Structure formats: C-alpha cells, structure tokens
Chain A
C-alpha cells in the first residue's frame, strides 16, 4: 500500500478516536422513489381508505434482528452451546413458558403479551434464504421471492388492488425512505420524516405555487405517474423482448411538478393533526417520534390504512450485546407507548402492528461477540383482535441450514393472514399464489 506521508504526518501530530462505544446515532434511511398519485381525489370517504377503517402499522427492524436473542429458547442446551457469551440465561429472560422467553429488556412488550394483545409467530422465513441485506429486504418487502426484478411491494399492490383511485394518504411511511413494500403501480403513498419539515418556507408562496404548476382549484386530477424507478425495466412476461424505458428531461419535470403539487395538498392536513399531540412515554428518538406522529395521524382521522415505521441498527456482526440490548429497550419503549396512546384515544381496537426484519442471525455467535447474517426469525403481531400467545413450533437449533435456522412458517402466510383476515382483501392477487392464513386473527 502506498503510504501517504503527509496524512501520516498529521496522524502523528494529532490523535485517533476510534471507540467501540454504543452511542446513540441517528439512523439514516434510504432514499427511495416517491411518485404520488392523484392528490385531488380528496373524497376521503372511500370504503378502503375511510377514516374508520382498520389500520395496519408495519414496524421494520432493519439490519437483521437477532431473533434468537429476541425470543430466546433458553430451555434448549443447544442455544447456550452456540452462544456461550452472547446467550441470555434462564434467570434474565422474561419467561413465556419453560422453553421460551423474551429478551430481558422487553418487559413492556411482555405486558402486552400477558394481557392478550400480542402474538409471537415463530420461525418465519422463506425457501432458499438469501443472506444479502438488500436482496432479502427486497424479498420481504415485495413478498415475491420468486421474482428477480421487483418494482412493487406487497402493500403497494394492496393499494393498487383495493383502491386504485385512493389519494396518497392511504399509506404513510415515516422516514425519508419510501420503502419498496409500500410502492404500487398505480398508488404511491406519502413519506416524510417529520411533519414540521413538510412545507415550503420561502416568502412568495403564491408565485412558488405558480412556478411549480400547483393549482389547488384544478378540477381534473392529473394522471397517476409511474412509480417505476428510473432506469429499471418493467418486468416482462416470459419471452417478451425487454423494453427499455427512457426517461426524458420533460418527464423528469412533469414528475417534479406532480410531486410538488402532492406535497402542497397534504402538508396542511398533516401539520394540523400532529401539532400538539405529545403524550408521555415515547422514547426521544426517531423511532419514538415516528410512532408518536403515526398515533397523531390516526387520532386526526387521516384516511390511512397502512403506516410504516423503521428502527435500524440491527446488523450486529460485532459486540452485539450492548447494541442489541439498547435496541430492544428502544423497541419496547416505542411500541408500548404507542399502544397506550392508541388505547387512550380508543383506536387500539382498529389497529394491528406487525414487526419483521430481513433475516435473523446465525445460531452460533462469531468470534467478535456478534452474529452473522442468518435466516428464519420470529415476528410479532399486536392487536386487540389477536389470538394471544405463541404461534408455531420453534425451529430446531441442531438441524440447521448452513448454520442457520430452517423456517417453519412462510412469511407470505403471515401476509396472507393480515390481508385476508385483517385488511379483508383476497391475498392471492397480491402474493401471486394462495398461502394458508394462520389462525391468529379473531373477530
């Protein structure tokens, strides 16, 4: 390697501060495409986005949450053998039964389990698990592991299928990321990090609106833009010649005009709803703020069927213990504060919360006090219409697939359950085939 002498020189003069400390760092989220449909369809009374409809809140744990240290099979010797220093012992876990327990920091979550508002779905995964963060996250978000190129998500297709004419408020993703999961062909939902940053602050708003061709009195709604990311060819039927989609400068301008218009329309509504909604108990971080904002929008009656919130930082290859403990604390504080907020506003009855991560982690801990990318992992469901308890059997800790757990339940069965039994829509058109729903939602 070429040593850079003068850089070295400064190194010698100054100092270094590389520390393995678990500081709280904001999670930076991906940027994703956001093309909005039809902002003028403000008839907020459609059945499928009506303000009294059932709501799904998806909580994404990004980076690959260690399922085995979240729902701990403490009664299994193989667990302790595989994780001599990283494992949780039977004294510290919050026992569900003689075999399973929750992470010690999940006490507020355990309370929800005990009072009947939560289910644990064990060993969720899919065939031929992919251990790339990006590919596996695409698989979970698209719900189509069978397709190489995916441009829509399972929730995006839910919007497409049930309310193609819905306004974008049908889905709201907290964060700068519009997750693939929420992207549809015809409907694309909203995405923002915080309500306060969600408006134009220049002086001449009137001329700004003219320059952005924003006409709030327009009667004819603009056509829904394509939600295709630029540069990605649409999936073609087998045998069809690949068609290249070229984006012209004019199409880029049109896209920007439409986005500006959509932004203007929804900004006022959301600011009105979220200002002043500040119940106690939410953790003071992006995850807590995101959930608080979601609760405010539910309370305010935004006609949203699906909200999406992320908590990142789960890629624990090294020194996992402290980091994972902190993340569990954050998760538990956020979800329990959210649930109490919904109960206080009497909306908990119409909300279901689903958590997932792109994969679990390897059974055996690595030499760095962490774990590498794995496969199957548990999911959580929260709701007043949930059959409480543990669904399915725990995967074997000794019969492994390249060191990882074999899945027991296909994640698409969980999606099918939510789509059919909670969102009340057929799941086959969305998931491409029929998966048997789990017996977990009750009337």
Chain B
C-alpha cells in the first residue's frame, strides 16, 4: 500500500512548492488534490496550469493519488434544481478531466445529500441516475469514481449493505466506493465495510475517531491515527483479506494548532505502522 495526504492539509500560508517538499520529506508517496480547496487547483484552473501542477508534483518526487473535492456539499448531484445538478455533474467531469491530466485514476465524489428539504428517496434516485452517465465518462478516461461514505454528514447510505445496493443500482464498473474508515464511527465498523465492498474500493481515507465522548457521551470527534477507537488491527486484517493494496489517503479533520508540519510526520509514521501491521 502507498501513503498519500490531501493538499488541503498544507498550511494556508504555505505555497505549493513548500507544501510538496513537506509531503515528500514526511515520507508520503503521493498527494491527494482537492479541487476547489486550494488556490492552485480551482474549477477555472486551465488545463495548462493543471499540467504544470502535475509537473510540480512529479518534480517533488510524488504522484497524484486521486482528485477529490468538497464542492459537492454546495452543489450536490442530488439537488432538486436541474441547474445545480448540471453544475455538480460538471464538477465531477472536471475532476475526471484533471485526474487524466495528472495521471491519476480515481476521483472522490460525495454522491448525494439528504436534507430536511430533499428527502431520501429523491436523493437516492437522483444520485443513481446522475452516476450512470458520469460512470461512462470516467470509464472512457480510464478513471474510477469513488463515492465517499460520509454517513452522518450526508445522512445517506448509512450501512454497508445499503451502500452495496446503491452501487448495484448504479451498476457501473467505473463507479465504486471511496471508503473513509473514520466516517463510520456511530453506525458500524470500518472493517466490515472493507469486507463487504472489497474490489469496489477505489481509495481509502484514514482518520481516527473518539466515539461517544463528552460529559454526556453524545459526541464523537475526529482525532489522530491510533489515538481513537477505530479497531486498526481489524481494519488491517480486513484490508489483507480483501487484497486491498492501493492508496491510503490521510484526511485529518483535527489539525495541530501549533507546528502544523509535525502532523504530516506523525500521520505518516502511524500509516507506516498500519501498513506494516505493527499494531
């Protein structure tokens, strides 16, 4: 397995070159680029500038592990308004285009967003229908779409069986799951998701979570790897069982307040322990 970390972890006042140098020095093999998050990678970044970005990554001794985005929280594929859905589809298309330009073969998509206003049945149906043509686009580009399990935040596809059925309904070989082992906290066990989805896993986000903390035990909060309640030995064993040998991508929600570069090193070391199975 290979290690990657998101470019959105790079401190905001750092430049790209300084950030890439840090990622490399901390021991990562690649970097996850977040479309729309950082100034160097926006929807209006030209193809030429995307290629230049790719060259900068390679010059730093890294590769692009995948292209992600948080833009679908504001423009979901499941929106009722067709113009918003068109914008959401364009975001995925741009992810696919840029992944191709950058030499990556996976993109992360937040497939649907259930809200007070837009109910579950609509979101399900709309997401399935949106992903079919996008799957065709992805396949033509040699890219796979990984729908992320954002569980509680999305209020959608909360169980692994349900996610499995969703992917069955999309029924496209270029559409799978970008599994976040930290997002499952209150409603399951990451290792079971890994077993169930196996070959459909496109990438894995890693972070840890402290379950049911606080005075009332009603809050689950993200934390550093190996510090929370994820059962890492079980997760590692499940990865072995399903033969997952792809990218592990660090997505640390909790950030260091001081010495932010230190988090890159600590996370890389924890990922090394996970990969080697020294747990």
Asked if A and B bind, the verdict is no
Using a CB–CB cutoff of 8 Å, the interface residues on chain A facing chain B are none
